[in-house]
Amino acid sequence: MYHVPDYQQNLSLRLSEVLDDIGVSEEMVLKRRRSVLLEETMLTITRMSISNHSMNIFGSSCEGTTTVGLNSDTDFLCCVHDFNVIQDYADWKHGFTNLLMIQDNTTSPGYCLLQQIRDDVPLPATHVLDEDHVRDASGRVLLKNTLYRDVMPADAVQHGPSWAREGDPGFADADYVFAFHCNSWPYEARPWLDRQGIGSWPTADMKRFAVNNGCFVVPVGSKVSQNPELEWRISTSQAERCLMFSLNITQIRCYVLMKMILKTFLQHAGEGHITSFMCKTVLLHCIEKTHSNAWQENNLFTCLSCCLHVLYKCLQQENCPHFITPGNNLMAGQFSAEVKALLLERLFHLIQSDGQALLEVQIDELGLRLQIKLSRLYLIPENIPSKKKKCLEISLPLIGNTVCSITLCIKELLIATIQNSPVTTVQNLLNVLAYYKRCYTEGSKLEQKASSLLTPMVCSTLGTTIASINIQTNNTVPPEALDWLSAGLNSDVASSRLKLASVFYSVGNMVETEFILRNTEGHYGFGITEASCGCCLNKVCIRKRNVCRSCISSK
């Protein structure tokens, strides 16, 4: 790379220090990733044990490319495995609902149609099954992308293929989208496998991972589609996540800075706007076309400037090619002439400011922190959170998300397994535990951790159910019930112990009941356990008797 002026190197180093102080460090990025991947795994093994769905979490929260101030949404992709999506009749499966991906001169690049194929023989279906299907001019029976529109909750808002839900206090907003999985890599994306970047990035291993994991089809058409209700977007999200996981800390910081600039200067232009996915795409193109040694801490500002120049050029040409399928223009139909002109003007001034604009970024006090670093004023004002406090602001919600994920998984599990018949309920719970056991013995480290967190609560519920059946019939508690209750005794602080106490109380065993209650009270003492409300999970708050003051004042 060309010689970088000394002032740009100094600015780059100070920027790197500021980003490290607000939690964009290797340690915190990895912590975010581990937490979200654990959440994803818990949701997936739970849903696969009771239905044929899996859950993926994509975007900033999973990549670790966010900050407290950016307040990024969590993007959930619910994959429905009831359909066998294929690109070739050789992948057709007997007895499955088979859907053939079709790309022709009517489909937009990066999109496809889904043609219904018979489940008894590998031939096109000829009958329109229901209102979710339609016969096109060529006689093909196609599945409409409006299939899951009716399942959106009342408190959610439709955003393209997804529906958005506001997060509870202390938790991020969430976007949910349904999708189908295709085991094979998209034909349209195969040229990317042979494309060679400078410095051999992406690597052969990354491309091999992409091919082995296939793709998704998401129910949304292109903005310039001739058939908006029939097109499905081809998503390579798993491959893109793999690419993001391979980035070094400077590349991640560059992306975070782009999003801060986007949110500060480029999101007030009316109906069209540049998206964070466009910024990510620009970043990936820049990484592919530069040597890896360019992405160093003392070169951060130069790398950021390079990305902004490429983004400006994309906007000029109204063409931001998808990184894996370049024929898919992410900016197609996105901007009116007026909005485009306004965005170009703002981007031009940002580039020309030569770093001055960064001082105006208020997200995570970035501008003020940078000014202090550049001025060599090492006394940080009291109103600016320290690095330690920022890391705590990140870590607390991650712990809260793990706790809430366990609760959500168990809630979904109980709704699906508890039946009117206690005997059926017991068998359902035994089946779930058998599935968790397989995940633990045969699965990945994440699956082992997820199943070990979920199993104790299921054991406790199973023990209570078996005990209830026997208490109702002969007023006894069988050893089997006590074994399951004991296995779940440490699932949490109190509820599992209270379940055991209620079982002994129901058969009149007051000695054991009193012993367990006293033991529980000891575990639940204020010096050992601290209760927390949801709003405390996203900030370090001042508490009064375990309830934060903001909660007291709002009551």
Q: What is the pLDDT of residue 545?
A: 41
**Whether pLDDT at 532 is above 70:** no
Least-confidence region, from 19-23, 44-48, 93-97, 162-166: 162-166
Shared domain check, 81 and 8: no
CB atoms within 10 A of CB 425: 20
Q: Say if residue 120 is in the same domain as residue 234.
A: yes
Q: What is the mean pLDDT of the chain?
A: 89
Name the pairing type of β-strands 174-182 and 74-80.
parallel
Residue 171 is classified by DSSP as S
CA-derived radius of gyration, the chain: 27
From 211, 241, 271, give the residue that closes a domain. 241
Measured distance between the N- and C-terminal CA atoms of the chain, rounded to whole angstroms? 59
Residue 555 has pLDDT above 60, yes or no: no
364 and 451 in a single domain? The answer is: no
Share of the chain above pLDDT 90, in %: 71
Which helix (H) or strand (E) segment holds residue 260: the answer is helix 249-265
DSSP strand E in 93-223: where?
Answer: 97-102, 111-117, 133-135, 141-143, 157-159, 162-165, 174-182, 215-218
pTM above 0.85, yes or no: yes
Domain membership flag for residue 89: yes
Residue 542 lies in a domain: no
Within a domain: 544: no
> What range defines the domain where residue 452 resides?
397-524
Verify that 145 and 267 share a domain, yes or no. Answer: no
Q: Is the dihedral of CA 426, 432, 438, 444 positive or negative?
A: negative
CB 246 within 8 A of CB 283: no
What pLDDT was estimated at residue 493?
77
Query: Based on the domain organization, do 120 and 225 belong to the same domain?
Result: yes
Please check whether residues 259 and 361 belong to one and the same domain: yes
Residue 42 CA to residue 215 CA, distance in Å, equals: 22
Residue 451 pLDDT grade (very low, low, confident, very high; cuts 50, 70, 90): very high
Element (H, E) at 75: strand 74-80
Q: Give the per-residue pLDDT at 541.
A: 43
pLDDT on residue 491: 84
Sorting pLDDT into bands at 50, 70 and 90, what band is 163? Answer: low
pLDDT grade for 164, boundaries at 50, 70 and 90:
low
Indicate if the pLDDT at residue 547 is higher than 60. no
377 vs 256 pLDDT, higher one: 256
In a domain, 529, yes or no: no
Q: How far is CA 510 from CA 276, 493, 502, 505, 516, in A?
A: 61, 21, 10, 6, 10
Do the domain assignments include residue 41? Answer: no
CA 282 and chain centroid, separation: 21
Final residue belonging to a domain, choices 326, 356, 384: 384
Do 365 and 457 share a domain, yes or no? no
Number of domains in the chain: 3
Most confident of 123-137, 300-314, 535-549: 300-314
Distance CA 8, CA 12 (A): 6
pLDDT of residue 538 exceeding 60, the answer is no
Query: Are 255 and 177 members of one domain?
Result: no
Window from 64-78, 86-100, 517-531 with minimum mean pLDDT: 517-531
Let me know whether 280 and 316 are in one domain: yes
Q: Is residue 45 part of a domain?
A: no
Residue 237 lies in a domain: yes
Q: Give me the mean pLDDT over the 535-554 stretch.
A: 44
pLDDT tens column, 206-231 = 999 999 999 999 999 988 888 889 99
Is the domain of 230 the same as that of 92?
yes
Mean pLDDT throughout 240-259?
98
Give 179's pLDDT tier (boundaries 50, 70, 90): very high
* Phi, psi values for residue 74, rounded to 5°: -105, 125
Q: How much is the pLDDT for 197?
A: 87
Q: Which of 195, 226, 241 is the last residue of a domain?
A: 241
- The position carrying tokens 């088979």 is 98
pLDDT of residue 223: 84
Are 196 and 318 part of one and the same domain?
no
| Average pLDDT score over residue span 65-70 | 95
126 exposure class (CB count in 10 Å sphere: 0-12, 13-18, 19+) = exposed
In the predicted model, what is the mean pLDDT of residues 172-191? Answer: 92
User: What is the helix (H) or strand (E) element at residue 307, kind and residue range?
Assistant: helix 300-317
pLDDT at 270: 57
User: What number is the average pLDDT over the span 423-443?
Assistant: 95
Question: Is residue 83 situated within a structural domain?
Answer: yes
Q: Are residues 150 and 259 in the same domain?
A: no
Please compute the mean of the pLDDT values over residues 302-328 and round it to a whole number. 97
Q: Which residue has the higher pLDDT, 150 or 195?
A: 195
Q: For residue 251, how many other CB atoms are within 10 A of its CB?
A: 22
Q: What is the CATH number of the domain that holds 12?
A: 1.10.1410.40
